[in-house]
Amino acid sequence: MATNPNRPRPATTGGRTVALIQRLARENPTWGYVRIQGELRRLGYRVAAATIRRVLRRSGLPPAPQRTSQHAWRSFLRAQAHTLLACDFMHVETVFRKRLYVFFVMEIATRRVHVLGVTARPTGVWVTQPARNLLMDLEGRAGCFRFLFRDRDSKFAAAFDAVFAGNDTAVIRTPPQSPRSFPERWIRTARAECTERLLITGERQLRTVLTSYAEHYNTGRPHRSLSLRAPDDDPNIVPCPPPRSGASRYSADCSTSTTPRHPDRLIIHRKRPAQQPDRNIDTLQVSRAWPGACCSPTSE
């Protein structure tokens, strides 16, 4: 079939337009091709719906209904992370073959952990009191949390749910045997970095150890999901500790430059080694026999 050579070819889509189409599709999974076309037109881009479909297919992005089903739960967690809490129990075996239970709550957005108590016999009454203590410790921030995730353990009685209901925090029970990624990850981390390296003898020791570890976890441990920051770090400030005194002294001893330095930088200028004397045996013999013969010009 012959084609008309004078027929105008469709304009190619630029990289900036392609990136904008991909961003609109990822951030708005319910938008179809025509809706994205309309939003682009309002931004000053005239792109056909067929072009948008072709770009999304090449990028591996499915149509709107499939994108909605794939990203619904993930999008919900990202949008509501600052309002979510999750609680769980962690058990630790002592050297006397006694099992202790640790009750903790995690803030999903910042990964901050609150160790609320340690006991050998957790009951509904015991669990309710740490919940009250948590809301008192949060003070003004308690009203920011709208949802609390917990499992269907019988230790969470109706009084426990009533404490959070008074704070307008809805308690959501997870399905049976469903994974709880955030609390379970902290349990694995605490065991690998803390409890499995110590011999625990009783409740008092375990409470002290986990309280200290939780403080380190919240203030000094970098997290991959937080761009290598600690939960209590300011997201707008990059922590940079000052140089140690020993390094500063070493810099002062090795430096030979007289130019002023920046007070926050550590610049080390190493001295060049002194020139080694001539170790040639012939030169040494001549210099000992005729002093100055090596330096004076030879005469015929």
Is pLDDT larger for residue 4 or for residue 107?
A: 107
Q: What angle do CA 148, 153, 156 make, to 5 degrees?
A: 60
How many angstroms separate the CA atoms of 262 and 61, rounded?
A: 50
Q: Pick the closest to residue 227 from 215, 236, 240, 217 (CA basis).
A: 236
Q: What is the pLDDT of residues 46-71, one digit of tens each?
A: 999 999 999 999 988 888 877 766 55
**The pLDDT value given to residue 113:** 95
Tell whether the model's pLDDT for residue 165 goes beyond 70. yes
**The pLDDT value given to residue 266:** 45
Which residues fall within 8 angstroms of residue 202, CB to CB, at 6 or more apart? 94
Identify the helix (H) or strand (E) that includes residue 129: helix 124-138
**The pLDDT value given to residue 261:** 47
DSSP E strands in 120-191: the ranges are: 147-150, 170-173
How far from 185 is each of 163, 182, 191, 192, CA to CA, in Å? Answer: 26, 5, 10, 11
**The pLDDT value given to residue 251:** 44
Residues 92-111 have a mean pLDDT of 94
Identify the helix (H) or strand (E) that includes residue 113: strand 113-119
- The reply to whether the predicted model has a pTM over 0.75 is no
Which residues lie across from 89 on neighbouring strands? 103
Lowest mean pLDDT among 21-35, 159-173, 222-236, 257-271: 257-271
**The pLDDT value given to residue 255:** 41
DSSP 8-state code for residue 101: E
pLDDT averaged over every residue in the chain: 79
**The pLDDT value given to residue 117:** 95
Match 């008074």 to its residue by tokens. 166
Q: What is the pLDDT of residues 212-269, one digit of tens each?
A: 999 999 998 888 878 788 888 876 766 565 555 554 444 444 444 444 444 444 444 4
Which residues fall within 8 angstroms of residue 283, CB to CB, at 6 or more apart? 294
How many angstroms separate the CA atoms of 259 and 261, rounded?
A: 6
